Structure 1
Amino acid sequence: MKKMAIVAAMIIFVMVSSFLMNVTSQEDINVLKYMNGDQIHYIEIVTAGALEEVVAEAINNENQSVHYAVLNQPIKKTDHAGNKRNHFYITRSKGQLENFSKLSVYPPNGSSKLYNMQEIQTIDINSAAIGGNELKMMRDLSVMSYNIHHGKSLLGGDSLDTIADLIEASGADIIGLQEIDKGVYRSKFRNQLKYLADRLSMYYVYGENVNFLSGKYGNGILSRYPITYSENLLLPSRREQRGLLRADIDIDGKKVHFLSTHLGLNSAERAKQMGVIQDYTKTLTEEVILVGDFNSSSRDEDIRSISKKMLDTGYAAGQDQQPTLDFPFISGRIDYIFISPTIELKDYRVIKSRASDHYPIEVKLTLP
């Protein structure tokens, strides 16, 4: 009898917990509508970090259902209170957003709730307008991507100063970095990105992905130009947490979205991570430069997929066979710089330095 009472109590506890979780999940959902002028640019659904999938149903002004979508590739962000939140996106490629008046959201195992969408302008139309007599500027830019292997050379020696010298000699204006330590024993507890930024007199932003040996490990961005906004996004990951670091950079009055990433070692994991990155880039309003260590060859589906939307600078320059990871037992191009089609590619090169286990790549660009 006592055993039956314990089992009954456990069943009730599970049912109440499940109910409270569903209620909390529904109360912890925000729906935002981002406007570009008078057009809907994209819709964002923000949920608690535990919700990995939601179903969204769009309702028009006549209270008719006009769109239905299962969203299961969230980007994870940490809010100002330190809470992890999942962000799902509905972009113009997924539906005629002008017909969306309200959104009904169904969490797993929960009943739907109808949401009015909070409206947010993505650009200031007045400041974005260009007068008829204003001269259009063409801006030249040098961009680098570099996996620095936590500042260790191929032989294991400390190479952070060599890396700083290489970046300085290259003349690169913006650098996307991967595998950067912050306060880790193996790299003398240094804040490696700040060290490089101070050496090179650059602005910087860091995106931590992993708590590692009492410190942090992640991606970084260095820039000669001011960084006006940044955010670090956690990508869906099976083993080591991977991330996408965004910086909005003001290049003589021209805003560019600069993204630095480092994808996983498993092909299925990378495919999902790339899908999330592509969804996210559709929410951006300005030209995009995406750099990083993608751990993929140009024949892999994730690279072929992004290359349909953005320009693969190595391929466009005829350097597809130039390795960025080069050993006797393994050699190939796994580091990339992708650019919006409106950006002009002037030059591409691989810098063959053994300051890291990867070669850095650099491109010369002209912004529209």
Structure 2
Amino acid sequence: MATRRLRLLSANIQAGSSTRGYRDYVARSWSHVLPAGNKRGALDSIAALAGQHDIVGLQEADPGSLRSGFTNQTHYLAERAGFAYWSHQPNRRVGGVASSANGLLSRLQPMRVEDHPLPGRVKGRGVLLARFGQGEDGLAVAIAHLSLGAQSRRAQLDFIADLLANAPHAVLMGDFNCDPDRPEMQLLYRKTRLQPPAQRLPTFPAWRPQRAIDHMLVTPALPVAAMQALPAAQSDHLAVSMALDVPEAALR
């Protein structure tokens, strides 16, 4: 069976803000709501990393609020890194001056992109689902940023599991805010063909990674050739990069 090697990246880019230690959450909190700091330089660094990949999932990309200087960061990265296709899913608003989105960058043309709001105690989370190829055997790539609370995460993972239940060629990537062996994650593994990551990659905090909370989960029909965690400029999360082999038939 003919396959195609694809490189995928998942990155929580923290809207281009810089966090180099826990003290920055307080000392540099202004950068999360105001158009200050070297956000453009950070985005250029992220674009250089994203440009080495075929499909990129973004979390915490600003869709064009005050703090980004009204720049749609997903669009900016697509142009800067030379991606022909992009989409974004605005979700949470922060204090009326900032907004956050999931984003997709792709060198392959999706057949369609679906925007699904996720359940949870606090509204404003979503999953962006890109479908490549025809029918149920096509490649499905889902991008999500899950809640901090376990009860909300369980409801969100249950919703995502229903979306991907019948997909033989599926990837779920994003900031899960939990380790891959948490009880709520077992629901996802039972209801879909997605598997726990073979390699546990600590991604948070970026300056001293201790927790594996950013994941890229795949189904067994997509053999993983390589996987690593990489800096995403000065975000507080490391990005996850993966090379995997996709059947050509799943992309047509």
TM score, norm. by length of structure 1 = 0.56
Q: In structure 2, how many angstroms separate the alpha carbons of the residues matched to 1:245 and 1:138?
A: 25
Q: Provide the residue aligned with 2:28 in structure 1.
A: none
Q: CA deviation at 1:240?
A: 4.6
Summarize the alignment of residues 31-70 of structure 1 with structure 2, pairs less than 5 Å apart.
none
Q: Residue 237 of structure 1 aligns with which residue?
A: 120
| Corresponding residue number in structure 2 for 1:192 | 73
Query: Hey, what does 2:224 align to over in structure 1?
Result: 345
Question: Aligned partners of 1:342 and 1:363: how far apart in 2?
Answer: 15
Output aligned runs, 1:304-315, within 5 Å. Answer: 304-308=186-190, 309-313=193-197
1:265 corresponds in structure 2 to: 148
**Counterpart of 2:158 in 1: which secondary structure?**
helix
1-side partners of 2:233 and 2:45: how far apart?
Answer: 10
Q: Matched residues in 1 for 2:9 and 2:180: separation?
A: 19
Give, in angstroms, the shift of residue 250 of structure 1: 4.6
Q: How many residues align?
A: 223
Moved runs in structure 1, 4+ residues, more than 4 A?
A: 327-330
| Rounded Cα–Cα distance in structure 2 between residues aligned with 1:211 and 1:326 | 23
Superposed CA RMSD in Å reads: 2.3
1:154 is aligned to: 19
Q: Give the whole-Å Cα distance in 2 for the aligned partners of 1:333 and 1:355.
A: 18
Structure 1 Cα separation of the partners of residues 49 and 209 of structure 2: 24
Query: Which structure has greater strand proportion?
Result: 1
Which of these residues, 208, 216, 220, is aligned with residue 90 of structure 2? 208
Aligned to 2:47: 164
Kept after mapping to 1: 8 A contact 2:206/2:235: no
- What is the TM-score normalised by the length of structure 2? 0.81
Give the gaps of 5 or more residues in structure 1. 1-135
Conserved in 1, the CA contact under 8 Å of 2:67 and 2:98? no
Q: CA deviation at 1:327?
A: 6.2
Amino acid at match of 1:197: A
Counterparts of 2:233 and 2:50, CA distance in 1: 13
Larger Rg: 1
Highest relative contact order (Cα 8 Å, sep 6+), 1 or 2?
2
SS at match of 2:44: helix
Shift in CA distance, 353/243, structure 1 to aligned 2, threshold 3 Å: closer
Identity %: 31
Q: Distance in 2 between matches of 1:198 and 1:354?
A: 18
